[in-house]
Every structure is written in structure tokens, then in C-alpha cells.
Chain A
Amino acid sequence: AQSVTQPDIHITVSEGASLELRCNYSYGATPYLFWYVQSPGQGLQLLLKYFSGDTLVQGIKGFEAEFKRSQSSFNLRKPSVHWSDAAEYFCAVLPRNSGNTPLVFGKGTRLSVIA
């Protein structure tokens, strides 16, 4: 079955430490891939997206993500986490050639940042 999975429900990192949030998908063809962030009390905001080409994608707020076809993954990374990065992060996919199918979201990973 087609799906997008975020294996980690909650992650805690120290401020200044590196971060990697995992996202795996299960689709016949590589879908379009997205990461969104939801800060407390806010709606979601697009961090970055991958359609094709360079497998390392740069986004806003110092985030990047790497597409790995062999692992069906699109993991989000940040070299040094700031306290303001505490939020919920959602991976999302859009199947290619799907017409007007809306985005499919993963269940999210909540990030806590400690001093």
C-alpha cells in the first residue's frame, strides 16, 4: 500500500546539536517530496521540497533534506539546532501523475530542544 512513514514520534535534542528527522515512503514511482513545520499555535509552513535533480535540497531556516532512492527516504537535517526549532515536523508526498490528488502527510515528529 502507498504510504509515508515518519518512524519517530518524538525526538529531543540539545541546542547546538545536529538533527536528523526520518521520512520513508512506499510508492511505485518516486513521488514529489516535501517537509513542513508547525510551530506551536501555528499552521504548517513549507520548509523544502524535492521534485527532481540534485538529491540534496536546501530549505528555509537552515534545513536541508536528502533524497535517497535506494532507501525510499527523504530525511530532514540541520547541523545545529536552535531552541526556536522546537516544533512538529511533517513529511508529505504527492504521487507523480496523480492528477489533482492532494498531498499525503506523515503522522509527524515532534521535536523538543533542551538547553
Chain B
Amino acid sequence: DVKVTQSSRYLVKRTGEKVFLECVQDMDHENMFWYRQDPGLGLRLIYFSYDVKMKEKGDIPEGYSVSREKKERFSLILESASTNQTSMYLCASSDGLGVVEKLFFGSGTQLSVL
């Protein structure tokens, strides 16, 4: 089974801190994605990557950056955390063959910024 592992299940940070959310997949997938999930807003795409060292902005990239130095790892960075970034963050991956049809998700990181 494909496994997408997010390093932390719960995270509490202070306003202004630099925060790293790590995601690792073990199936040699080409594509990786970061979403945030908020009640009533569903999933919103922050950034995605279709190859190592490649990144594309999603719908809500402001306040975030990403890093993909290795194929299996895709990191989401909050340069200066703010309270409005308190959310559930979901990482996903998929293979690069044809239509992106099946995303494999991690269990999520619930981030609280105080």
C-alpha cells in the first residue's frame, strides 16, 4: 500500500515562528500536493509539485512556500506563522502517468498558531 506520512499529527506554534510541515511518500510518485482543510471551506490547494525542484502555486499560496529537494519529500513552510494559518494541513501524492486520477493522502497535521 502507498503510504504518505506527515511528520506530526498535532503541532502548536507561536505567531511569527517559522514552521516546517514535512511529508514523505514511499511509492516513487511524481506528484505531490499540499492542501489546507477548514470547516465549511473544504480542501484548498496551497502548492503542488510535479517533479523534484519544481513547484507550482495553488489557489492560496500566500504566506507559504515549499521545498522539494528529493522526490519522496515535499515540505510546506510557513515563513512567519499567523493565527489565520491555524488549520488542518493535508499532504497528498499521485503518480505521473496520464490523468491525475487517484490521490493518496496523509492523515493530516492539525496546526494551531497561538
Could you tell me if A94 and B43 are in contact, using CB atoms closer than 8 angstroms? no
Could you tell me if B40 and A43 are in contact, using CB atoms closer than 8 angstroms? no
Could you tell me if A32 and B101 are in contact, using CB atoms closer than 8 angstroms? yes
Interface size, A (range)? 20 to 34
Could you tell me if A43 and B102 are in contact, using CB atoms closer than 8 angstroms? no
Could you tell me if A46 and B102 are in contact, using CB atoms closer than 8 angstroms? yes
Once bound together, how far apart are the Cα atoms of A90 and B48, in whole Å? 19
* CB neighbors of B among A28-75 (8 A): 32, 34, 36, 41-46, 49, 51
Contact with A along B45-87 (1 / 0, CB 8 A): 1001010000000100000000000000000000000000000
Could you tell me if A105 and B33 are in contact, using CB atoms closer than 8 angstroms? no
Among A51, A94, A106, which residue has its beta carbon within 8 angstroms of that of B100? A94
In the complex, which of the residues A32, A36, A43, A103 has the most CB atoms of chain B within 10 Å of its own CB atom?
Answer: A43
Which B residues have a C-beta under 8 Å from some C-beta of A?
4, 33, 35, 40-43, 45, 48, 50, 58, 90, 92, 99-108
Write 13 A-B pairs (CB below 8 A) sorted by A numbering. Answer: A34-B101, A41-B108, A42-B105, A44-B90, A44-B92, A90-B42, A90-B43, A94-B101, A102-B48, A102-B58, A105-B42, A107-B40, A107-B42
